């Protein structure tokens, strides 16, 4: 950790943002408890993370630090808990910069008998509630833009966004291995300027745990929320088909092996839960630190965390 992050003057000056964090977390808990969600705590050190193409886990002895609590929470859903939420630390290797930390705080929630559109309704209500509770208003200024959270949110298809801003379709970009680069460099800067933008319906290759669209099986029911170009929430209708999920995990494992990246074992207890059967379900992951960046008009993620693990020492 750099001297800047250890500076006692910096820690003293963080009091307003730490109080803002407290207010946001209190608002989150009140929101979900009022809606009959159960708050849960699942393991941070796990036998294996989910196999996803763009996410690398941190080893911890003979185990890993979780990249997400998703698989354990889905096992609870399979056991009959209909609405769940969790706030806690997650870890991802190689993520360091103005918008990324190796350790960060994630809010995830899931519910049965729901799809990605219902989870979007949750998100609109949650973000507005948090802003009103923590800021006393439903507007905020971030990256020199005034964002109106109370206005109707823009809904933009991923393919349309890529054709408009990147000059090619999203499916072609994904097939050519260019999707993430084009998304970050050409698409994201245009999203969520005056009101939040929801980027919706992703190519199949970009949704390892998402359900296919019934009328377009090469696409998945997934969306991401942006404010002034910053991604804050990722959500989807969750895949409940065990054989298809295993095929996707195996395909990801082959891809990672071909690229010389770590290949994690398939989480067999999670697969067993899928095989026992799950109703329709949907879930979302919200980056708490990033939401705080928006509410505090912070220039980098380190400015809203007291002891930023994995922070870039150059910042």
Query: Average pLDDT for residues 42-54, to the nearest whole number?
Result: 94
Query: Does residue 156 belong to any structural domain of this protein?
Result: no
pLDDT tens digits along 169-223: 999 999 999 999 999 999 999 999 999 999 999 999 999 999 999 999 999 999 9
What's residue 3's pLDDT? 41
| Cβ contact 55:102 at 8 Å | no
Mean pLDDT of all residues in the chain? 94
Beta strand spans in the chain (E)? 38-39, 45-46, 58-60, 63-65, 83-91, 103-112, 139-142, 145-148, 154-157, 197-203, 212-213, 216-227, 230-237, 281-287
Tell me the pLDDT band of 67, cut-offs 50, 70 and 90: very high
Strands 197-203 and 154-157: parallel
Query: Does residue 54 belong to any structural domain of this protein?
Result: yes
Question: For the CA atoms of 252, 254, 256, 260, what is the dihedral angle to 10 degrees?
Answer: 180
- As for how many domains the chain has, the answer is 1
What's residue 41's pLDDT? 98
pLDDT tens digits along 239-267: 999 999 999 999 999 999 999 999 999 99
Tell me the pLDDT band of 279, cut-offs 50, 70 and 90: confident
Query: Does residue 183 belong to any structural domain of this protein?
Result: no
Work out the percent of the chain whose per-residue pLDDT is above 90.
90
- CA Rg value for the chain: 19
Query: Does residue 224 belong to any structural domain of this protein?
Result: no
Query: Does residue 104 belong to any structural domain of this protein?
Result: yes
* 294, pLDDT greater than 60: yes
Residue 269 belongs to domain spanning? 3-147+241-304
* 58, pLDDT greater than 70: yes
pLDDT tens digits along 7-21: 788 889 999 999 999
Query: Average pLDDT for residues 267-273, to the nearest whole number?
Result: 97
Query: Does residue 137 belong to any structural domain of this protein?
Result: yes
**What's the CATH code of the domain at 72?**
3.30.930.10
What's residue 277's pLDDT? 86
pLDDT tens digits along 20-45: 999 999 999 999 999 999 999 999 99
C-alpha span between 313 and 88 (Å, rounded) = 24
* 4, pLDDT greater than 70: no
Query: Average pLDDT for residues 104-116, to the nearest whole number?
Result: 97
Query: Does residue 311 belong to any structural domain of this protein?
Result: no
Query: Does residue 312 belong to any structural domain of this protein?
Result: no
């Amino acid at each position: 950790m750099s001297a800047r992050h250890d500076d006692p003057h910096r820690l003293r000056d963080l009091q307003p943002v730490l109080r803002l964090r407290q207010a946001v977390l209190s608002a989150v808990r009140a929101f979900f408890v009022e809606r009959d969600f159960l708050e849960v705590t699942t393991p941070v050190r796990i036998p294996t993370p989910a196999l996803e193409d763009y996410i690398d886990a941190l080893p911890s002895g003979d185990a890993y630090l979780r990249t997400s609590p998703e698989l354990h929470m889905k096992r609870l859903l399979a056991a009959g808990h209909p609405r769940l939420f969790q706030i806690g630390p997650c870890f991802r290797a190689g993520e360091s910069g103005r918008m990324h930390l190796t350790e960060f705080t994630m809010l995830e929630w899931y519910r049965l008998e729901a799809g990605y559109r219902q989870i979007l309704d949750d998100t609109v209500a949650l973000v507005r509630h948090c802003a009103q509770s923590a800021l006393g208003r439903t507007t905020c200024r971030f990256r020199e833009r005034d964002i109106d959270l109370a206005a109707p949110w823009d809904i933009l298809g991923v393919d349309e966004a890529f054709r408009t801003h990147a000059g090619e379709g999203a499916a072609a970009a994904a097939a050519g291995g260019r999707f993430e680069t084009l998304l970050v460099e050409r698409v994201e800067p245009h999203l969520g300027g005056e009101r939040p933008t929801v980027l919706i319906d992703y190519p199949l290759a970009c949704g390892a745990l998402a359900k296919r669209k019934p009328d377009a099986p090469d696409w998945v029911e997934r969306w991401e929320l942006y404010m002034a170009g910053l991604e804050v929430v990722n959500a989807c209708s969750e895949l409940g088909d065990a054989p298809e999920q295993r095929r996707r995990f195996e395909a990801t494992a082959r891809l990672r092996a071909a690229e010389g990246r770590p290949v994690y074992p398939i989480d067999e207890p999670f697969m067993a839960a899928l095989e026992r059967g799950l109703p329709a379900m949907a879930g979302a992951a919200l980056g708490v630190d990033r939401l705080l960046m928006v509410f505090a008009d912070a220039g980098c993620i380190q400015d809203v965390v007291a002891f930023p693990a994995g922070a870039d020492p150059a910042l």
